[in-house]
Amino acid sequence: MSFFTTGMNFKKAIICDLDGTLALSKSPLSTEMAEVLCGILRNHYLVVISGGSYTQFDKQFLSHLNCPEELLKNLYLFPTMGGTCYVYDSESNAWKQLYEEILTIEERDLIKNAISDSLRESNMDFSEIYGELVDDRVTQVTLSCKGQEAPLLVKQSWDTDQSKRKILVEILKGKIPQFEIRIGGTTSIDITKKGIDKAFAIQKFKELSNLSDEDIIFVGDALFTGGNDAPVKTTGVDYIQESGPSETIAFLRQYL
Ligand SMILES: [Mg+2]
């Protein structure tokens, strides 16, 4: 920890993963986490990057944050791995989309067909599914292997070592190599335009904020090889691996 106790005061922006870092998968922010994040926003930029859609951010993150409105100018949201970015517009009192790296309807259809074919070819059991398997998020198509409404306990036990999704990703890469195909949260596989990942989102944030690598630290639960935070290691920013929201809170408290 010595590295962070010497370096942390110089960080202007803290970039966090959402699922598994700020909150449990698709679960709301805790009251304690919301309080800590509001404290962070008083003196730092807070950036949140996730594979989830803006709608998911709203439901899971924004509606539980409860910060004074004047702090929201320091918050940047990057849904769908930075396929899009939202900032708060204090004139209209609304979240404003800054850009959108859309997949065309044809591209999304191609991806959905490749998913159907890959599920069939994998010979895995997809009979017990909760809600829709595939979510079209315009900038990203997400396959939730137990369905989007699956209970957390069902999701957590399905693919603990990612071995099932590694097989599915390999099959998909054979069919649609022109897209970025990544293992997401607990059961998901996210497909976007090539080159869209957390490193891309960080680059976008640096451009929008005029900050540089040394101003930034990233916090995530999946920086291991193959994890959806791993692309961050290809950037020049500092990063720290956490095991879940309670460790993240302890880390963030050092910045308050
Ligand atoms: Mg995560």
Report whether pLDDT(147) > 90: yes
Name the domain boundary from 162, 193, 224.
193
Query: Do 23 and 148 reside in the same domain of the chain?
Result: no
Query: Do 13 and 95 reside in the same domain of the chain?
Result: yes
Vertex 205, ends 11 and 52: CA angle to 5°?
110
Report whether pLDDT(3) > 50: no
Per residue in 23-54, pLDDT (tens digit) is: 998 899 999 999 999 999 999 999 999 999 99
248 Cα to the center of ligand 1, angstroms: 12
219 Cα to the center of ligand 1, angstroms: 9
**pLDDT at residue 9 in the model:** 60
CB 233 within 8 A of CB 13: no
Report whether pLDDT(4) > 50: no
Query: Do 187 and 148 reside in the same domain of the chain?
Result: yes
User: What Rg, from alpha-carbon coordinates, does the chain have?
Assistant: 18
Query: Do 165 and 39 reside in the same domain of the chain?
Result: no
Query: Do 158 and 130 reside in the same domain of the chain?
Result: yes
Query: Do 140 and 174 reside in the same domain of the chain?
Result: yes
Task: Report the C-alpha gap between 103 and 21 in whole angstroms.
Answer: 28
Query: Do 79 and 124 reside in the same domain of the chain?
Result: no
**pLDDT at residue 8 in the model:** 52
Query: pTM to 2 decimals?
Result: 0.88
92 Cα to the center of ligand 1, angstroms: 32
Give the residue ranges of DSSP H helices in the chain.
Answer: 2-7, 31-43, 54-57, 63-65, 105-122, 152-158, 163-175, 198-209, 245-253
210 Cα to the center of ligand 1, angstroms: 26
Report whether pLDDT(149) > 90: yes
**pLDDT at residue 5 in the model:** 44
Q: How many domains does the chain have?
A: 2
Query: Do 112 and 180 reside in the same domain of the chain?
Result: yes
189 Cα to the center of ligand 1, angstroms: 13
> pLDDT-derived band of residue 76, with 50, 70 and 90 as boundaries?
very high
**pLDDT at residue 226 in the model:** 81
Per residue in 98-141, pLDDT (tens digit) is: 999 999 999 999 999 999 999 999 999 999 999 999 999 999 99
123 Cα to the center of ligand 1, angstroms: 27
Name the domain boundary from 193, 208, 233.
193
Task: Report the C-alpha gap between 232 and 130 in whole angstroms.
Answer: 32
Query: Do 14 and 94 reside in the same domain of the chain?
Result: yes
253 Cα to the center of ligand 1, angstroms: 20
45 phi/psi in degrees, rounded to 5: -80, 140
Any idea what the CATH number is for the domain that residue 229 is in?
3.40.50.1000
Query: Do 201 and 240 reside in the same domain of the chain?
Result: yes
Q: Would you call 173 helix, strand, or coil by DSSP?
A: helix
Domain interval for residue 125:
105-193
Per residue in 162-184, pLDDT (tens digit) is: 999 999 999 999 999 999 999 98
Query: Do 11 and 46 reside in the same domain of the chain?
Result: yes
Any idea what the CATH number is for the domain that residue 149 is in?
3.30.1240.20
Neighbours of ion ligand 1 (CB under 5 A): 17, 19-20, 221-222
Query: Do 164 and 245 reside in the same domain of the chain?
Result: no
**pLDDT at residue 26 in the model:** 84
18 Cα to the center of ligand 1, angstroms: 6
20 Cα to the center of ligand 1, angstroms: 4
